A and B are shown apart, each in its own frame.
Chain A
Amino acid sequence: MLKRVGISNDLSSDASEFAIIDVDVDETTSVVQVKGELDLTTAPRLKWMLHDLLEAGRTRQVVDLNETTFMDSTALGVLVAVNRSLGEGMRLVIVCARSNVLKIFELSGMDGVFTIVPTLDEALQYARGRAAKAS
Chain B
Amino acid sequence: MLFVSKPSHPRSARARLPIAVASTLLALAVASNSTAAGERPPTGASGVARGPAAAGAHRGNGRSAAGSEAPSPAPVRATAPAGAGSAATGAPERGTGPRASRSEGGEARSGRSTAGAAPVGAARTRRGAPLGREGAHHREGTQNTAARSTTRSAHKASLEPGSAPRPSAASGVSAVSAASAPAAPAAPAAPATTPTPAAGTAAVTPTTPTAPAAGAPVRRSRTRAARGARRAGAARTRVGAGAGATASPAAGGALAVPTPVHAPAQRAAQPRLRGASGSLSASPIVRTITRIVNVVPSPIRLVIGVLLALVLAAALRSRLTALRARRLDLQRKQLLDDVGLLQAALLPLPPARIGPVATSAAYRPADGPGAGGDFYDVFARSDGQIAVIVGDVAGHGRDALPQTALVRFTMRAYLEAGLSPRDAVQTAGAVLERQLTGTLATVIAATYDPRKRLLTYASAGHPPPIVVGESTIAPITVASSPPLGAGLRTGSRETIVSIPGPSRVCFYTDGVTDSRIGSALYGGARLTHELTELERGETAAQLLDRVAAATDSRPDDMAACMLAIEDGEGEPSVLVEELELDREEATHERVERFLLECGVEPQGIATLINSARAAAGPVGTVLLEVSSADGSPKVALRSDNVALLQSRQARRQARVGASP
Contacts and interface: CB of A to CB of B under 8 A. Distances in A.
Interface of A: 1-8, 10-13, 15, 39-41, 70, 72-74, 76-77, 80-81, 84, 100, 103, 106-113
A107 B461 contact: yes
Nearest to A108: B461
Contacts of B585: 112
Contact of B463 (A2, A39, A70, A107): A107
Contact of A113 (B486, B521, B598): B486
Nearest to A8: B525
A111 B521 contact: no
A2 B394 contact: no
Given A111-B590, A112-B482, 7 more contacts: A13-B520, A40-B369, A76-B483, A77-B440, A106-B478, A109-B481, A110-B461
A108 B472 CA distance: 22
B69 interface: no
A75 B483 CA distance: 13
Contact of B438 (A8, A70, A81, A108): A81
A86 B481 CA distance: 22
Interface stretch (B76-84, B140-148, B211-219, B625-633): B625-633
Given A10-B521, A13-B519, A5 B481 contact: no
Contacts of A112: 479, 482, 585, 588, 590
A1 B486 contact: no
A71 B446 CA distance: 26
A73 B556 CA distance: 11
Interface in B472-503: 472-474, 477-483, 486-488, 490, 493
Most buried by B among A1, A4, A70: A1
Chain B contact-residue range equals 35 or more
Most buried by B among A7, A10, A103, A112: A112
A113 B482 contact: yes
B514 A72 contact: yes
Interface of B: 368-370, 392, 394-396, 438-440, 442, 460-463, 471-474, 477-483, 486-488, 490, 493, 510, 513-514, 518-521, 523-525, 528, 555-556, 571-572, 575, 577, 585, 588, 590, 598-599, 628-629, 631, 633
Nearest to B478: A106
Contacts of B521: 10-12, 70, 100
Most buried by B among A8, A41, A109: A109
A113 B486 CA distance: 10
A94 to B, nearest CB: 15
29 contacts: A1-B598, A1-B599, A1-B628, A1-B631, A2-B473, A5-B472, A7-B525, A10-B513, A13-B520, A40-B370, A40-B556, A72-B510, A72-B556, A73-B392, A73-B394, A73-B461, A73-B483, A74-B395, A76-B394, A84-B487, A100-B521, A106-B477, A107-B461, A109-B460, A109-B479, A109-B481, A111-B590, A112-B479, A113-B482
Contacts of A109: 460-461, 479-483, 488, 490, 493
